[in-house]
Amino acid sequence: QIESKSHFEGQIDGPDATNIKKNFFHMTTLFAINHGCTVACLDLANARLGSTGVWQSGILYGSYTLSAFYGSSYVVMKYGSRNGLVLGMGMSASYVTSFFL
């Protein structure tokens, strides 16, 4: 007879689950705000700079893709998943900040 194991075995209950849920919602909210600001600046660049803005957006997305393929594993191994996410969001925020300069 084959014994099936539930994927939910060892569920976290109580205050730890509440803290994990709060941290998850906090992180997703901050990530959504960061991504929204980045996309708004991309749209602004395309609208105000014309073809230069389109090229700039293409280069940005190309660098995102290359860093995801070749750099993300290294960053997560070196800094950990949480700090890697903070680093990535910080770099994205620096892009948004450059529009104010």
Predicted confidence band of residue 20 (pLDDT cuts 50, 70, 90): confident
Residue 34 to residue 26: CA distance in whole angstroms: 12
DSSP alpha helices (H): ranges in 15-50?
15-49
Whether 6 has a pLDDT exceeding 60, the answer reads no
Q: Which residue has the higher pLDDT, 83 or 5?
A: 83
The predicted-structure confidence for 57-94, as pLDDT tens digits, reads as follows 888 889 889 988 998 899 999 999 889 989 988 888 88
- The whole-model pTM stands at 0.67
Task: Supply the Cα-derived Rg of the chain in whole angstroms.
Answer: 19
Cβ–Cβ under 8 Å, residues 70 and 59? no
Mean pLDDT of 44-68: 87
